[in-house]
Chains A and B, each alone.
Chain A
Amino acid sequence: MNKWEDNKAWFMVIPVFLVVAISAIIPLMTVVNYSLQDIFGPNQRVFVGLEWYKDALTDPRLHAALKRQLMFSSLVLLIEIPLGILIALMMPKKGWGASLSLVLVALPLLIPWNVIGTIWIIFMRPDIGLLGAAINGFGIPFDHTASGLDAWITVMMMEVWHWTPLVVLLAYAGLQAIQEAYFQAARIDGASGWAIFRYIQLPKLRGVLTIAVLLRFMDSFLIYAEPFVLTGGGPGNSTTFLSIYLVKLAVGQFDLGPAAAFSIIYFLIALLFCWLFYQVLLKIGTGDKS
């Protein structure tokens, strides 16, 4: 391309570049730097090469945390995406009911993350919590601070309660964008409600659902605040997800080098999964069967 008089436009973009550089690239490079050294104190560093990476990759606790993490993210997607679509399908399409249900659905999204953890601690307490006490009242022993399974159930419920609304909003917007003629044509073709969902609504939602899956995967894969507040990773290590383990390593034990290497691996895993999801979702629904 030739030079164009309106090159001024580039100057406008420079601040954004600077922000990105300061907020993302420079810290990332620092972490890369840390991950290659053994740090004893402010001025005592030894270059160790890929030693920390080897350690991290062979660390059984990390493996366990990764498995837990994948399990958690899969469950999140399996529950939140269908549930979100279902709720979106049931919401009124127009009128005051539409606005009201939108506000109600969006409520959990407006609450700070650590507050959510606190709410659920109280909510699930076996002695005074509304739900916790109720479950125990039915004679089912339930205590998220004592049982690993109960802790999982609690974290899952909290996560679903908190984030399904995001999927609902996306799916709702996607459904609203489908032109009325599609439904009319399908009714004329004699399609059942299920067929309308399967052949019109679901294909038309592909775009927004791709975004929903990516967002929910990334968010749940990197989850920290809520389980930290609720269970602190316990009981035992049963809800110690990758990020919680990482923080324990870095802050709790002040192992900066291994923690940095771990961060990089963590980051790469998240990136890899996002890319995989994106590719798969992009392929679905395109290309000929023939």
Chain B
Amino acid sequence: MAMVIENVTKLVGKDCHIQDISLQFEPGTFNILLGHTLSGKTSLMRLMAGLDRPTKGRILMNGKDLTGISVRKRDVAMVYQQFINYPSMTVYKNIASPLRLAKVAEKEIDHRVREVAEVLRIDALLDRFPNELSGGQQQRTAIARALVKDTELLLLDEPLVNLDYKLREELRIEMRDIFKRRQSIVVYATTEPLEALTLGGNTAVLYEGHLEQFGSTIDVYQSPQSTRIAQAFSDPAMNFVNGRIDSGTLRLGDTKPAPLQHHLQELAPGSYQFGMRPNHLHLQRTSPEDIEFQTTIDLAEISGSETYIHIIHNGHNWTVQQQGIHAYQMGKQIYAYIDPTQLYVFDLDGHRVVSPEHDSAELT
């Protein structure tokens, strides 16, 4: 039994927010909607919740057509970007509110509120009011309220986006563990590739209202079906360069021709787009097969433990991701290197031709 979205389209005036999307979510799965702002994540969630009605198509739950059934009659909970709690109620009453509405027995309410508060580590704050809490605690309360009633469908719309990065990091890991144990269908919208990778599960990549790819998160990451998906599912974004394959050699831009190896051997001669992940570009040679580019340093950005070096190669803006903290001077000439075995290959229309080989060894 599952939730099925069947050829759903949503038009608002002349704007197309959702374009013919079909998806199926199984109970007990964690599903991520990944895409930029305005890619249709929120629109799709609103349709799934029943807050909006699709212009075309159907939404089925366990085989039953839910299209047109109002949100109040559906078994759904939702968490938003903003920390939405009832300001005049304590944390306890906030969490208990969905159960009170469902007329659950008081004893049962107490038991479940305390249980979920403990999972979210707000059990010490139950008598406080939302405005006495930090942002992270407020959002934990909102999540607890969504979790307390075992709904069939749980929607989370970028719930961590308004929190400090450190809190975000912690809550992400907690959330993954919390949802592991549930039988609901969990759908989680985010713009951040790293968030999707941390949370795992399945990922649907959305782009301008279209569904681009759906599959297990790590599969989508490792074999993006198009340049668009590769762009959306890479932070920093994937670097692209046009290249040619001729009689057994590979030439990226104006670099020296290199022999074809590994996953590139089967490629027919012709022009392609080659994608390079920022962490696969290096600023020193790592193997003799590496292809060398001449580039100029634009800006080096430093996150806590990594450095993102923005470089320019023939007018293309690329990013190199390096472990550790490094300082670079703007405007300096530098060579960048890529190991050809790490190249993602797309045709000139942006469709996947072949992706680098990955260890298929499953972690169990």
Contacts and interface: CB of A to CB of B under 8 A. Distances in A.
A2 interface: yes
Contacts of A6: 70
Contacts, number: 10
A5 B70 CA distance: 7
A4 B52 CA distance: 10
Interface string B66-110: 001110000000000000000000000000000000000000000
Interface in A166-190: none
Interface in B41-66: 53, 55
Nearest to A4: B53
Contacts of B69: 5
Nearest to B71: A6
B12 to A, nearest CB: 11
Interface string A24-53: 000000000000000000000000000000
B62 to A, nearest CB: 20
Interface string A212-237: 00000000000000000000000000
A121 B294 CA distance: 91
A23 B70 CA distance: 35
Given A2-B68, A4-B68, 8 more contacts: A2-B53, A2-B55, A4-B53, A4-B70, A5-B68, A5-B69, A5-B70, A6-B70
Contacts of B70: 4-6
Contacts of A2: 53, 55, 68
A2 B57 CA distance: 13
A214 to B, nearest CB: 30
Interface of A: 2, 4-6
Interface size of B as a range = under 10
10 contacts: A2-B53, A2-B55, A2-B68, A4-B53, A4-B68, A4-B70, A5-B68, A5-B69, A5-B70, A6-B70
B242 to A, nearest CB: 40
Contacts of B53: 2, 4
Interface in B272-289: none
A118 B53 CA distance: 60
Nearest to A3: B68
B30 to A, nearest CB: 30
A2 B67 CA distance: 12
A35 to B, nearest CB: 42
A6 B71 CA distance: 10
A6 B55 CA distance: 16
Interface string B279-323: 000000000000000000000000000000000000000000000
A118 to B, nearest CB: 44
Contacts of A5: 68-70
A4 B55 CA distance: 12
B18 to A, nearest CB: 15
A5 B69 CA distance: 7
Nearest to A8: B70
A168 to B, nearest CB: 30
A8 to B, nearest CB: 10
Interface in B153-211: none
B302 to A, nearest CB: 28
A5 B55 CA distance: 15
B345 to A, nearest CB: 45
Nearest to B68: A5
A7 to B, nearest CB: 10
Shortest 4 CB-CB distances between A and B: which pairs? A5-B70, A6-B70, A5-B68, A4-B53
B119 to A, nearest CB: 34
Contacts of A4: 53, 68, 70
B52 to A, nearest CB: 10
A204 to B, nearest CB: 25
A6 B69 CA distance: 9
A286 to B, nearest CB: 23
A5 B53 CA distance: 10
A6 B52 CA distance: 11
A229 B270 CA distance: 95
Nearest to A1: B53
A6 B73 CA distance: 11
Nearest to B72: A6
B16 to A, nearest CB: 16
A61 B53 CA distance: 60
A9 to B, nearest CB: 11
Nearest to B73: A5
B58 to A, nearest CB: 13
B352 to A, nearest CB: 38
Nearest to B52: A4
A10 to B, nearest CB: 15
A138 to B, nearest CB: 58
Nearest to B55: A2
